[in-house]
Amino acid sequence: MLKLDSVDSLLQDSWKTFKKGFWSLILVKLAQIGIYLAIAVLFLALTLPGTLSELKELRTYYNLDTASVIDAIAGSAAILIPVLLLFLAFLLISFWGSAAQMVAVRDLDKKMKVRDIYKLSGKNLSGFAWIHILVSLITLIGLMLFIIPGIIFMVWLSFSAYVFIWDGISGVNALKKSQALVAGYFWAVLGRVLLLMIISMAINFLISLAAPILYLPLVAFSEIFVIIYYVNIFNNLKKIKNNI
């Protein structure tokens, strides 16, 4: 049986790709962060004046202290519904940003504009989100069954989104192809993913101690590197399995 590329080889190839498309990939990530900030500012602009007004009225009418008023507002539908909508908007942006980053890596040689990358990834956003929801639900159910089944499902289905973006296979079929790719290489894939996690955690920890101001940018950049790393394993598996 053919072996997967070593961790060292995967890291080197991933770093080469990261350097090659650095500015393009970073701009895609920054665009996602910009959308997050824009939604957050819009949310505050629409809800803060009304919340402050309600806070003032409650304090005046009921002669309540600020903490009691905040508790009352926090439990009301007037604030819960906007917060729920904000959560859903952030979730949607998370899916869209992840899809855009994958498309940017896939089409790196095409030198596409950030706007076009988001436009292209947005066309298939519902299918991409559905795959993430399916994988999350299956993994969660597995974790509830004494953890180990969840880990197995997580590894089996770890390339489902990549199957969707690269091969255009959607829904349950994407999950099935991911499992077929991993079959026979479960421990090899798990080991390479765990080693990347350990390396990333160590680097992030050291950066947080030495230069805390760089921690958040590093986390953002590392997400792109992780995608590239997974792509390399994904392509490696496809090559070994003769593009099943």
Transcribe 205-244 into DSSP letters.
HHHHHH-GGGHHHHHHHHHHHHHHHHHHHHHHHHHHTT--
pLDDT at 50: 56
* Six-digit token string for 145: 């069954």
Q: Does 139 reside within a domain? A: no
N-to-C CA span, the chain:
16
pLDDT at 13: 95
d(CA 102, CA 124): 12
pLDDT above 90: percentage of residues in the chain: 56
Q: Does 150 reside within a domain? A: no
In total, the chain counts a number of residues equal to 244
d(CA 51, CA 73): 8
The pLDDT-based confidence of 53 (bands split at 50, 70, 90) is: low
Q: Does 76 reside within a domain? A: yes
Structural domain including 59 reads: 7-123+184-240
Q: Does 152 reside within a domain? A: no
Check whether 3 has a pLDDT greater than 80: yes
Q: Does 23 reside within a domain? A: yes
The pLDDT-based confidence of 204 (bands split at 50, 70, 90) is: confident
Which has more pLDDT, 219 or 185? 185
Burial class from Cβ neighbours inside 10 Å (0-12, 13-18, 19+) for residue 228 reads buried
The pLDDT-based confidence of 78 (bands split at 50, 70, 90) is: low
pLDDT in tens, 99-120: 999 999 999 989 899 999 999 9
Q: Does 79 reside within a domain? A: yes
| Mean pLDDT over each residue of the chain, to the nearest integer | 85
**At 164, phi and psi to the nearest 5?**
-65, -50
d(CA 182, CA 138): 16
pLDDT at 69: 47
Q: How many domains does the chain contain in total?
A: 1
If one counts every other C-beta atom within 10 angstroms of the C-beta of residue 22, the result is 12
* Six-digit token string for 105: 């890596």
The pLDDT-based confidence of 42 (bands split at 50, 70, 90) is: confident
Indicate the SS3 state at residue 170.
coil
d(CA 133, CA 125): 12
pLDDT in tens, 149-176: 999 999 999 999 999 999 999 999 999 9
Report how many helices (DSSP H) and strands (DSSP E) the chain contains, helices first.
Answer: 11, 0
Q: Does 55 reside within a domain? A: yes
Q: Does 164 reside within a domain? A: no
d(CA 75, CA 73): 5
8-state DSSP, 124 = T
Q: What is the mean predicted confidence (pLDDT) over 76-86?
A: 68
